[in-house]
């Protein structure tokens, strides 16, 4: 099964961001399919 993990953040007066990761779930575990680097995203105004 493949699922999409899509956390959403909104900061009043600044804006909003959404980051999506695709994950493959198998009987023995999971595998992150997204190629973007994992970690924190810094948004400069």
Residue 41, pLDDT score? 67
State how far the Cα of 14 lies from the Cα of 34, in Å rounded to an integer. 27
User: Which pTM was predicted?
Assistant: 0.57
Residue 14, pLDDT score? 85
Residue 6, pLDDT score? 84
Residue 2, pLDDT score? 93
State pLDDT tens for residues 1-42. 999 988 888 888 888 877 788 999 999 999 999 887 777 767
Residue 30, pLDDT score? 93
């Amino acid at each position: 099964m493949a699922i999409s993990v899509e956390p959403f953040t909104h900061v009043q007066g600044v804006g909003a961001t959404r980051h999506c990761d695709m994950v493959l779930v198998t009987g023995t575990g999971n595998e992150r399919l997204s190629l973007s680097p994992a970690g924190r995203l810094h948004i400069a105004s």
